[in-house]
Amino acid sequence: MPYKKKEIEKVYYRIGEVAEMFNVNLSLIRYWENEFDIIKPYRNKKGNRFFTLKDIENFHLIYHLVKERGFTLQGAREKLRGNPGGLQMDHEIIKTLQDIKSFLISMKEEL
């Protein structure tokens, strides 16, 4: 029976890694952390922030609402309070459609 190498997934991400994922400044990540209650990073004794995958998913939702759809911070806060489950599903559908679009574009370029 062949050995299957297990893919290691990180549990915690540093603030710099999160900022790089979204191509934003560190200060914006800190600001959104203060503005939105759904983001609660773990802090070590030195005060360094460590974000979980759930925090990063919440950042995706906030980024989508504020940067892509043009919501104000207050509007994004209200939208997240109103129906976070439905919003998560909508965001996943949009992400899947964008992946399909990029795949089709790459297939078209290969032809």
User: How many Å apart are CA 31 and CA 12, to the nearest integer?
Assistant: 19
pLDDT digits (tens, 9 = 90+) for 25-83: 999 999 999 988 888 899 999 989 999 988 998 898 888 888 888 889 898 888 888 77
- How many whole angstroms from its chain centre is CA 29? 11
User: How many Å apart are CA 79 and CA 86, to the nearest integer?
Assistant: 10
pLDDT given at position 29? 92
Domains of the chain with CATH codes: 13-110 (1.10.1660.10)
* pLDDT over 90 at 98, yes or no: no
Backbone angles phi, psi at 43, to 5 degrees: -120, 135
* pLDDT over 60 at 1, yes or no: no
pLDDT digits (tens, 9 = 90+) for 2-21: 666 666 678 899 999 999 98
Q: Quick one: 77 exposed, middle or buried, by C-beta within 10 A (0-12, 13-18, 19+)?
A: middle
pLDDT given at position 20? 92
Q: Tokens for 98, please give them.
A: 């964008």
